[in-house]
């Protein structure tokens, strides 16, 4: 596709519910990244995929967070038993392997009530 | 671990004037990448400019240029002839070259740029 796409654009959920956020990277990009941006703050790294494997999961804040990638394409970030502190914008980025520049999607704004 | 510091939470500039946004970073690595990204209210992170640490020449993209001082670990962004469309949050980011499999970007906290008509 023309760029990285993410869905949904906005998600409102109740505390304790599970949510799934989706990322479609640029076609041919083998590297995929998830970041979290809390209100008024910079981006925090969550997880990095090279192909379908995740060599760096160091940023996942708790075991309620998980992510997978299939077909070296779409990735899903799942947050179980959501908490109000999970409210943030979740951004996905992709790049060609070994190349530094990451291209970002528009993000999903998650609000946990 | 690398850190990135943006000490100016907010900046403003008159339209058509020049403004410089500051960024410093801390690293023990000798080779790395530095970036400036722009985030307008639409939330989309847009790459503004990129600098490879091994290059002595400062990167330039049209009205955007950087002043890369490797010894001082400083990476400032200069915007010339500021336009209303430049209004956004600007983030400085660092990426390691040497750690394969650890290619995350480390971001600063951002500078909100306002353009005064």
DSSP letters for A76-94 = EEEE-S--GGG-EEEEEEE
Sorted by sequence, the CB contacts under 8 Å of residue A87 that are 6+ apart come out as A38, A39, A110, A111, A112
pLDDT of residue B25: 97
Each residue's pLDDT tens digit, B108-117: 999 999 999 9
Which pair of structure tokens corresponds to residue B11? 């900046």
**Positions of chain A with pLDDT lower than 70, given as ranges:** 1, 98
Query: Is residue B53 a contact partner of residue B72, using CB atoms and an 8 Å limit?
Result: no
Inter-chain residue contact B43 with A106, CB threshold 8 Å: yes
Alpha helix ranges (H) inside A17-94:
none
Please answer whether residues B6 and B21 qualify as being in contact, where contact means their C-beta atoms are separated by less than 8 angstroms: yes
A85: phi then psi, degrees, rounded to nearest 5? -70, -10
**The pLDDT of residue A98:** 67
Q: Nearest CA to CA, how far is B105 from chain A (Å)?
A: 7
pLDDT at B94: 94
B95–chain A Cβ distance below 8 A for any pair: yes
Angle at alpha carbon of residue A76, lines to A72 and A82, rounded to 5°: 160
Task: State mean pLDDT over B98-104.
Answer: 64
Cβ contact A50–B91 (<8 Å): no
CA–CA separation, B38 and A73 (whole Å): 26
CB-CB contact of A21 with A31 (8 Å)? no
Q: What percent of chain A has pLDDT over 90?
A: 72
- Supply the pLDDT for residue B98: 58
pLDDT value of residue A83: 97
Residues B72-94 have pLDDT tens digits of 999 999 999 999 999 999 999 99
From CA B112, how far away is CA B100, in angstroms rounded?
32
CB B21 within 8 A of CB B90: yes
Predicted local distance difference test score (pLDDT) of residue A100: 74
What are the φ/ψ torsions at residue B69 (nearest 5 degrees)? -115, 95
Residue B100 is predicted with a pLDDT of 58
Q: Which residue of B33, B42, B110 is in closest CB contact with A100?
A: B33
B99 pLDDT more than 60: no
Task: Kindly determine whether residue A43 and residue B109, on different chains, have CB atoms separated by under 8 Å.
Answer: no
Tell me the pLDDT band of B101, cut-offs 50, 70 and 90.
low
Asked if B55 contacts B31 with a C-beta cutoff of 8 angstroms, the reply is no
Q: What is the pLDDT of residue B43?
A: 86
pLDDT of residue B78: 98
Query: Do A103 and A3 meet the contact criterion of CB atoms below 8 Å apart?
Result: yes
Chain A nearest CA to B90, separation (Å): 10
What is residue B117's predicted lDDT score, i.e. its pLDDT?
Answer: 95
How confident is the prediction for chain B on average, in pLDDT? Answer: 92
Express each pLDDT in B9-18 by its tens digit. Answer: 999 999 999 9
| pLDDT value for B7 | 96
């Amino acid at each position: 596709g023309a760029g990285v796409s993410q869905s949904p654009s906005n998600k409102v959920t109740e505390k304790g519910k599970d949510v799934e956020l989706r990322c479609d990277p640029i076609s041919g990009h083998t590297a995929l990244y998830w970041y979290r941006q809390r209100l008024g703050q910079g981006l925090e790294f969550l997880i990095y995929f090279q192909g379908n494997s995740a060599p760096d999961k160091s940023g996942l804040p708790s075991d309620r967070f998980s992510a997978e990638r299939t077909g070296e394409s779409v990735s899903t970030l799942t947050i179980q038993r959501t908490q109000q502190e999970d409210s943030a914008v979740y951004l996905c980025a992709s790049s060609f392997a070994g190349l530094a520049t990451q291209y970002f999607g528009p993000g999903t704004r998650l609000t946990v009530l | 671990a690398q850190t990135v510091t943006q000490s100016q939470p907010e900046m403003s500039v008159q339209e058509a004037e020049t403004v410089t946004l500051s960024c410093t970073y801390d690293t023990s690595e000798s080779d790395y990448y530095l970036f400036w990204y722009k985030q307008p209210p639409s939330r989309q992170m847009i790459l503004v400019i990129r600098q490879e640490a091994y290059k002595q020449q400062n990167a330039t993209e049209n009205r955007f240029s950087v002043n890369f001082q490797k010894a001082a670990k400083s990476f400032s962004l200069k915007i010339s002839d500021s336009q209303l469309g430049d209004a956004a949050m600007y983030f400085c980011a660092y990426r390691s070259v040497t750690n394969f499999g650890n290619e995350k970007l480390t971001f600063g906290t951002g500078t909100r740029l306002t353009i005064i008509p």
